[in-house]
């Protein structure tokens, strides 16, 4: 029997395996960190395929501008046969309380794929962890932090402490080291917090989630962690994943997580849109 280049497994055995689940991701053009962060977290039979949308600043015009070519981007991902499409940008999807639903609706209308956003994932994660009071830690400028605080307040969460580093685009956000995030979180430790939220898909924090949970004594949620957890559960994957904190030990609800806009699919049998 023929074997692979590594000689470790017969090719016939590999051919008999089911195809991997494919998550399509719409990502900011200036974000160099989301893909390596997510790759570290992926189960072996799940892949993430990415298309970028132009976004390289924190102005309102740049944030909203990222949504202009959503239909074009999701059409490209649809060509690859993805099972689900996620718009993965925290600052844009939390721009106002209804932004996530609008984006997901546009994706599904354009290409017929189940869709969700980072903001949907965060709401579902905080619900699953029974969180009400949050400490918000970000690389953002103050105006972006304030919009995120207003978004969370609209959905019933209170931000009891917050800090932003005043950075303007993805490359500079990605340059902040994990140890700097640990120090920043420790500096803003709050005894009344139910959870700490390290917001932004462009920051390097996956490796420190469990370290922070031990230091802070509370669950830690990050944008990419919540996004992947949410997408896996929408696709019917509920197994715990070691090393990714309390959220990945939480199965999630059997129903549609709050905020999602999804459609039935022959591949994953998701529910009808939540409008």
Q: What is the pLDDT of residue 172?
A: 94
Decide: 7 and 34 in contact? Cβ < 8 Å: no
Q: Which residues contact 157 (CB under 8 A, 6 or more apart)?
A: 126, 131, 132, 133, 134
List the one residue out of 123, 112, 117 whose CA is nearest residue 99. Answer: 117
Q: Write phi, then psi, for 22 (nearest 5 degrees).
A: -120, 115
List the one residue out of 253, 270, 269 whose CA is nearest residue 261. Answer: 270
Q: For the stretch 191-204, what's the b/e string if a residue is b when 16 or more beta carbons lie within 10 angstroms of its beta carbon?
A: eebbbbbbbbbbbb
Q: What is the pLDDT of residue 16?
A: 63
Q: What is the pLDDT of residue 238?
A: 87
Q: What is the pLDDT of residue 17?
A: 67
SS3 97: coil
Q: Which residues contact 69 (CB under 8 A, 6 or more apart)?
A: 53, 54
Q: What is the pLDDT of residue 159?
A: 98
- 251-262 pLDDT, tens per residue? 654 334 444 444
Q: What is the pLDDT of residue 44?
A: 87
Q: What is the pLDDT of residue 188?
A: 97
Looking at the whole model, is its pTM more than 0.95?
no
Residue ranges of the chain whose pLDDT lies below 70: 1-17, 251-275
């Amino acid at each position: 029997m023929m074997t692979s280049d590594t000689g470790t497994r017969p090719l016939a055995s590999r051919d008999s395996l089911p195809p991997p689940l494919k998550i399509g991701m719409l990502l900011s053009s200036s974000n160099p960190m989301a893909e390596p962060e997510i790759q570290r977290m992926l189960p072996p039979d799940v892949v993430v395929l990415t298309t970028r949308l132009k976004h390289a600043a924190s102005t309102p015009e740049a944030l909203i501008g990222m949504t202009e070519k959503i239909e074009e981007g999701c059409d490209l991902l649809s060509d690859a046969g993805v099972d689900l499409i996620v718009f993965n940008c925290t600052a844009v999807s939390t721009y106002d309380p209804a932004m996530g639903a609008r984006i997901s609706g546009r994706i599904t209308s354009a290409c017929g794929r189940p869709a969700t956003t980072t903001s949907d994932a965060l709401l579902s994660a905080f619900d699953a962890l029974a969180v009400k009071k949050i400490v918000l830690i970000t690389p953002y400028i103050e105006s972006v932090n304030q919009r995120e605080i207003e978004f969370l307040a609209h959905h019933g969460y209170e931000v009891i402490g917050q800090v932003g580093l005043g950075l303007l685009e993805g490359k500079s956000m990605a340059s902040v080291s994990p140890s700097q995030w640990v120090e920043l979180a420790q500096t803003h430790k709050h005894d009344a917090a139910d959870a700490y939220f390290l917001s932004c898909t462009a920051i390097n924090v996956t490796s420190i989630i469990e370290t922070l949970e031990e230091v802070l004594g509370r669950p830690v949620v990050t944008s990419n962690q919540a996004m992947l957890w949410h997408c896996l559960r929408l696709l019917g994957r509920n197994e715990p994943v070691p090393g990714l904190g309390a959220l990945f030990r939480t199965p999630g609800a059997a129903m549609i997580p709050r905020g999602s806009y999804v459609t039935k699919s022959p591949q994953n049998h998701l529910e009808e849109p939540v409008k």
